[in-house]
Amino acid sequence: MKLKSEILTLKDIAKALKLSVATVSKAVRDSHEISDATKKLVNDYASEHHYRPNLMAQMLRHKNGRSIGVIIGAIPNSFFSDVLNGMESITYQKDYHIIITQSLESVEREQKNLEHLTWRAVDGLLVSLSAETTSVDHFKEVHESGIPIVFYDRVTDEIKTHQIVSDNIGGTYQGTMHLIKNGYTRIAHITSSKELSITKERLLGYEKALKEQGIPINPDYIKYCKHGGKEIGEIETAIDDLLKMKQRPDAIITASDRITIGALAILKKKKISIPKQMAMVGYSNFHSPEIFNPELTTISQAAFEMGRAAAELLIKLIESKRQPAKFEKRVLPMELVVRESSKGRKT
């Protein structure tokens, strides 16, 4: 991804001064890693040639800057809404303004949002990857330029920085074990894109529970929604495939807020009795799951705490004169809340 500039690019400056692009970028951002002499050399050249991003960054830093860019999946998602509330509880206290963008599970939108945020000269970024993201090169370029990033929920190990995640393995393990203990043995798993960190971890939790109980893992019971359930059709296709099976599942555990609510609506539309014909456990931060009929058993994430922790760690990176000796991966606990949708079978 090439970042915008009106007259001169970082690469142009680097080439002219025989420096690396990373050095030039850190110099214009006043990084502690760059010597005062190199900063002066770069900034004098940039000012002389009217390098606009540099002038904007200086203005923001010395006046009313203190801004943080946020990339989320979608604001209407109750999980991300809670995450944003957690972030703002910290950014407001610390006098930072947050600029919120939505990827809507599109890597193209994610890249454009990133370009826009860096053009706005944000001080740092809080990022949850889109369902379509298979390469994080666009984030690598920005990170190497000196802009600190903290990843939350959907993360990558390709960039060395802080991560805030949920106990995805433990959450799905708990939900699957709960279904098994209630007498269900043909348990399907409807999840998001194969590329996401949360998808891989939640699948591990599901498989771990089945293996421990000696239940064979049936690959046909595992269904992926490439766009994370943003398109209701992909959830409906997954459920249709499961219902057509000769030995169809007797329970479903879903792996995201959107997929959970979508699957529940589709099952009711198809007049599948829950839990009599199909028990259900789902990830959801929906604030009133008891309004569903039957009441929905949920795996709830500490979304507010995730947003709060991510913002705290990012502000520390922004305000620190030196990088931390070690980056932190903070794993937040899940909570299984049992309700009617996973009620045990009568013997």
Each residue of 206-217: pLDDT tens digit?
Answer: 999 999 999 999
Establish if 41 belongs to a structural domain.
yes
- Please tell me the distance from the alpha carbon of residue 299 to that of residue 339, in angstroms, as a whole number: 11
Distances (CA, A) of 328 to 111, 164, 256, 276, 312: 25, 8, 25, 44, 12
User: Model confidence at 79, in pLDDT bands (50, 70, 90)?
Assistant: confident
Identify whether 120 is part of a domain: no
d(CA 89, CA 92): 6
Q: Considering 17, 43, 63, which residue would you say is the last residue of a domain? A: 63
**How confident is the model over 290-300, as pLDDT tens digits?**
677 889 999 99
Distance (Å, rounded) from C-alpha 290 to C-alpha 281? Answer: 13
Residue finishing a domain among 37, 63, 89: 63
Residue 175 within any structural domain of the chain: yes
Judge whether residue 100 has pLDDT over 80: yes
Instruction: Answer yes or no: do 295 and 173 share one domain.
Output: yes
Is 76 a domain residue?
no
> In this structure, what CATH number is given to the domain that contains residue 42?
1.10.260.40
Same domain? For 177 and 291 the reply is yes
The Cα 19–Cα 149 span in angstroms is 24
What is the band of 62 on the pLDDT scale with cuts at 50, 70, 90? Answer: very low
Per-residue confidence band for 52, with pLDDT thresholds at 50, 70 and 90: low
4 pLDDT tier (thresholds 50, 70, 90): very low
156 assigned to some structural domain: no
| In contact, 267 and 235? CB cutoff 8 Å | no
Q: Which domain holds residue 42?
A: 1-63
CB atoms inside a 10 Å sphere around CB 36: 9
pLDDT value for 344: 84
The pLDDT tens digits of the residues spanning 27-39 come to 877 777 788 888 8
**Cα–Cα nearest to 106, from 215, 14, 220, 230:** 230
Specify the CATH number for the domain of residue 279. 3.40.50.2300
**Residue 289: predicted pLDDT:** 62
Assess whether 173 and 58 both reside in one domain: no
Which residue among 63, 84, 101 closes a domain?
63
Whether residue 191 lies inside any domain: the answer is yes
Predicted local distance difference test score (pLDDT) of residue 15: 87
pLDDT at 63: 47
| Average pLDDT rounded to a whole number, residues 218-245 | 94
Q: What is the pTM of this model?
A: 0.80
142 close to 127: Cβ distance less than 8 angstroms? no
| Residue 40 lies inside a defined structural domain of this protein | yes
* In a domain? residue 116: no
The pair of structure tokens assigned to 172 is 């799905």
Residue 65 has a pLDDT of: 62
Radius of gyration of the chain (CA): 23
Asked if the bond preceding 275 is cis, omega within 30° of 0, the reply is: yes
CA proximity to 129, closest of 69, 74, 73:
73
Q: Band of the pLDDT at 130, cuts 50, 70, 90?
A: very high
Would the pLDDT of 324 be above 90? no
Range among 41-50, 70-79, 263-272 rated most confident:
263-272
Closest Cα to residue 170, out of 199, 134, 209?
209
Listed range (77-86, 89-98, 120-129, 287-296) with the worst mean pLDDT: 287-296
| Count of structural domains, the chain | 2
